């Protein structure tokens, strides 16, 4: 298995939107995205900061998306 890509929070939000998620609300720097089937993903968006591999894995797991799908959506 190859490594996860180095992405910012804004890039993850755009990728999840391409996968059908919608930004439901924003609280501070955290974007809460909801999919029509009920899946929820919370993504911190800090200007220019990349998301660490552990947090990115957790976001992908809660969104029900695997690494290969994320690469295709980016």
pLDDT, residue 28, reads 92
pLDDT, residue 3, reads 80
User: What's the pLDDT tens digit per position in 25-69?
Assistant: 999 999 999 999 999 999 999 988 899 889 999 999 999 998 888
Please tell me the distance from the alpha carbon of residue 1 to that of residue 70, in angstroms, as a whole number.
14
Identify the bridge partners of residue 50 per DSSP, sorted by sequence position: 8
Q: Is the pLDDT of residue 74 over 90?
A: no
Q: What does CATH list as the number for 9-73?
A: 3.30.920.30
Whether the full predicted model's pTM is greater than 0.75, yes or no, is yes
Which whole number is the average pLDDT over 3-10?
Answer: 88
Q: Where are the alpha helices (DSSP H) in the chain?
A: 9-18, 53-63, 67-73
């Amino acid at each position: 298995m190859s490594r996860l890509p180095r992405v910012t929070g804004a890039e993850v939000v755009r990728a999840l939107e391409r996968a059908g998620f919608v930004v439901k609300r924003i609280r501070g720097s955290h974007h809460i995205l909801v999919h029509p089937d009920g899946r929820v993903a919370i993504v911190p968006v800090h200007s220019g900061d990349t998301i660490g591999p552990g947090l990115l894995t957790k976001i992908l797991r809660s969104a029900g998306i695997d690494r290969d799908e994320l690469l295709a959506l980016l």
